[in-house]
């Protein structure tokens, strides 16, 4: 499932994040890349344990915890702290697949990457290129969203970022381990949850909605790993 989650950050928060990012010290993006992806990666990153990355990561995680669409689509168990990158001057990231397991720096916590997220911090008209291209079963999808919007996609997908030939592309990217490792099952649960919520807005709680809600939770109970 490829899902756009609009307005994860409002414009004021985007502005705040951008100011902190622009004032921070950057490092080569290869510090968090595995061997294969390091051959393909050409961008800048905020150091993982930097004050800026931690402060901004906490802000993003706090807003996501209140985002119903995100919670329903991702069913997160463990979230890797958000990272921040910058592409400019032809910077790009060739085709790769993200590492399956990531250890949270300075902790024994390991996160299996089931879902990948990119949260756009620069507006699309601030740079040329810089599309996130995700290979899906039905072909490749090019993603370039408004600042504050986020794309969520299965970490199993091959993906790349096309060269940024003008301006600067700031973004946050991170991964999570879902209670539902299968993208197929997670999509089913998400569709069902969305349909139930939309039904509930059309008709007041009816016995059928209560029954469907029960089915949703019983499916989650069968499939979830916690
Ligand atoms: Ni990646």
Domains, the chain, in order of start with CATH, read 3-178 (2.60.120.620), 183-223 (4.10.860.20)
Cα of 128 vs centre of ligand 1, distance in Å, is 20
Cα of 113 vs centre of ligand 1, distance in Å, is 11
pTM: 0.94
Residue 144 is predicted with a pLDDT of 98
* Residues of the chain where predicted confidence (pLDDT) is lower than 50: none
Whether 41 and 97 have beta carbons less than 8 Å apart is answered as: no
Tokens linked to 115: 């879902």
Residues with CB under 5 A from ligand 1 (ion): 98
Residue found under tokens 């469907």: 212
Provide the CA 93 distance to its chain's centre, in angstroms.
16
Cα of 150 vs centre of ligand 1, distance in Å, is 15
Residue 220 is predicted with a pLDDT of 98
The single-letter DSSP state of residue 50 is S
């Amino acid at each position: 499932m490829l899902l756009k989650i609009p307005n994860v950050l409002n414009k004021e928060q985007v502005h705040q994040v951008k100011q902190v990012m622009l004032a921070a010290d950057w490092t080569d993006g290869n510090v968090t890349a595995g061997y294969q992806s390091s051959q393909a990666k050409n961008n800048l990153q905020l150091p993982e344990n930097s004050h800026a990355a931690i402060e901004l990561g906490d802000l993003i995680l706090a807003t996501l915890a209140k985002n119903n669409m995100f919670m329903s689509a991702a069913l997160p168990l463990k979230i890797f702290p958000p990272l921040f990158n910058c592409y400019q001057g032809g910077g790009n990231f060739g085709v790769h697949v993200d590492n399956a397991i990531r250890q949270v720096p300075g902790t024994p916590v390991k996160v299996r990457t089931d879902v990948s997220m990119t949260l756009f911090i620069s507006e699309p008209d601030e740079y040329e290129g810089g599309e996130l291209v995700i290979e899906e079963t039905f072909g490749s999808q090019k993603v370039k969203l408004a600042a504050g919007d986020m794309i969520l996609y299965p970490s199993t997908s091959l993906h790349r970022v096309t060269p940024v030939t003008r301006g600067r592309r700031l973004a946050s990217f991170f991964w999570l381990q879902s209670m539902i490792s299968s993208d197929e099952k997670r999509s089913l649960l998400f569709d069902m949850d969305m349909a139930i919520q939309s039904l509930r807005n059309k008709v007041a709680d009816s016995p059928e909605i209560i029954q469907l809600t029960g089915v949703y939770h019983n499916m989650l109970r069968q499939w979830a790993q916690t």
